[in-house]
Every structure is written in C-alpha cells, then in structure tokens.
Amino acid sequence: MLEKALRFPADEIVIDLEDAVVAEAKEEARDLVAGFLARDRHETALMAVRVNPLAGPWGERDVEELVRRCGTRLDSLVVPKVERARDILQVQRVLEAAGERAVQVRLQALIETAAGLVHAVEIAAASPRLDTLILGYADLAASLGRDLRALSPESWLYAQETLLVAARAAGLHAIDGPYLDIRDDVGLQMRAEHVRSLGFDGKWAVHPDQLTVINMVFTPTTEEVARAQTVLDALDAAHGRGAVALDGEMIDEASRKLAARVVARGRAAGVEGVRR
C-alpha cells in the first residue's frame, strides 16, 4: 500500500501510525514506515507521518525513530488529538533533541476534540515548526457526542470557522478532514465545495478514489486564474491608487491578496495560462 500510494495524484501522503494500527502492531508498523521512507526515491508528493500521541507509550519513540532513520526524507509529522500548545511543544522538544537530522521536519496539528477547538488559537501559535491545522471529524464527533453520519456540512460550521480563523491568524494552512463514505462522490463534492468556499486550503482523502473530486474542487479553473491575473494587472497599472474599477467592480489591496492566492494555487496545480 505504501508503494502504491506514491502513484496517486495527491499533494501529500500521510502515513498513519495512530488509529490505523492496532496496539500489538505499533512497533512493527513504525519499523516498516521508517524503512520505507529511508529508501532513495523521487516522489512529487510531500511525505508526512501521523504519529501516536506523545502522552501514550508509542508517540515519543515514533518521533525519535523516524527522525533517526529517515529524518532527511520526512517533510512533516502530524500530531493527533492536539488539545493545548504543550502538545506541540512536546513534539518540538523531541525534534530539537535530535539535532541536525530534524532541522527540516515540520509539524501539523490535528484538532479533533472539544478541548482542541477551545484552544485552537493557542495551538496555532505554539511553534515556528507548525505549518497546518487539520480538522478531524471522527474523533471530534465522539468528543461532542454527535452522530457523524447524520450531520450536514453546515452542522460543523462553528468548528470549521474556529479552526480557519486560528490558522489564518497564525499564518498557517487550514485543511479539512476526510469524508468517510468512500462511495458517495456527491456528498464528498458537496463537503469539499463547502469548505473551499469558507477559505480552506485543501481536504484529506481516506481512499484514492476520492482524489479526483477533491483535486477538481480545490484546483482553480482557467477562468478563475485568468480573472485573478486580470485583477493583479489592473492594480499594477493603477500606479499607486488604492482602489480602481474593474468591470464595474471596485478592487483594492484586499482584492490583490485574494487574487494572488488564486494564482498561487493555480501555479501549484499546473493550471494552464498562469503568468505569475
């Protein structure tokens, strides 16, 4: 499965040592993943590993062994069930103790409990290694006492907005968690479009068949990229004026920021016609 994952059109591959691995297989799984990542390869996707919580019996060893054996080939660690800044700082201390082999390893925080939501702003500012906040629905539903299957996308609006605001205030990416019904493309697309409209940067997939829908939703169209470039060109041509009219709409510096984000996303996705 690890070898096969390298062929999928994902921006990032997240290898799971936590919930996907039963207790009696934790040591074997860690050894397998470390060996896999240590091999010489030229993948295009970023490589991340979701480790076990450091408060448990496996998490600290996960971090130490992964860094020791494949630190230079590991892009980031996903820290599960983050509830306070100290959860991130604990992982950071282990990375710092590893020295040079851990210099480039980044962190991502999974927010998937009520306590994590309450402290999302504190968590987002916890470490300069932290790049991303991710919303985890399954554990969050359990934490809140909700039936995950019976809820619409809008039912999670408070959690989504809370995570997004915390991420943006700290300059982090905001990633939506997975949709677990792998045969429901309609439901997946509806949820992906909902969080994209809120401002999220992407969405996790739990099955390769979900990648087509997610990539389609989060990749700007050529028309969207062209419009964004027109906005940037119009503001550049304004020669210092703060706001100008474009096709009957007033645009300004806020418009520039939004347009630049669209162009950057288009460039990353290889959309044709990106000039900037």
Give the separation between CA 27 and CA 29, rounded to whole angstroms. Answer: 5
What confidence tier does 40 reach under pLDDT thresholds 50, 70, 90? low
Give the separation between CA 3 and CA 8, rounded to whole angstroms. Answer: 10
More confident residue, 123 or 153: 123
pLDDT tens digit string along 92-123? 999 999 999 999 999 999 999 999 999 999 99
Residues 34-46 have a mean pLDDT of: 81
Give the separation between CA 92 and CA 76, rounded to whole angstroms. Answer: 12
Comparing CA positions, the residue from 124, 129, 25 lying closest to residue 74 is: 129
The rounded percent of the chain whose pLDDT value lies above 90 is: 70
Task: State the pLDDT at residue 251.
Answer: 84
Say how many C-beta atoms besides its own lie within 10 A of residue 66's C-beta.
Answer: 26
Say how many C-beta atoms besides its own lie within 10 A of residue 116's C-beta.
Answer: 27
Residue 269 has pLDDT above 90, yes or no: no
Residues 46-74 have a mean pLDDT of: 95
Comparing CA positions, the residue from 200, 267, 199, 192 lying closest to residue 229 is: 267
Do 52 and 26 contact (CB within 8 A), yes or no?
Answer: yes
Q: What is the mean pLDDT of the chain?
A: 92
* Residue 99 host element (H or E): none
Q: What CATH number labels 2-218?
A: 3.20.20.60
Angle at CA of residue 178, ends 268 and 60, nearest 5° = 90
* End-to-end CA gap in the chain: 37
Do 230 and 246 contact (CB within 8 A), yes or no?
Answer: yes
Domain ranges of the chain: 2-218, 222-269
Paired residues of 76 in beta bridges: 48, 106
What confidence tier does 234 reach under pLDDT thresholds 50, 70, 90? confident
Give the separation between CA 88 and CA 179, rounded to whole angstroms. Answer: 25
Paired residues of 246 in beta bridges: 249
Please state whether the predicted TM-score (pTM) of the whole model is above 0.85. yes
Residue 42 has pLDDT above 70, yes or no: no
Give the separation between CA 164 and CA 201, rounded to whole angstroms. Answer: 10
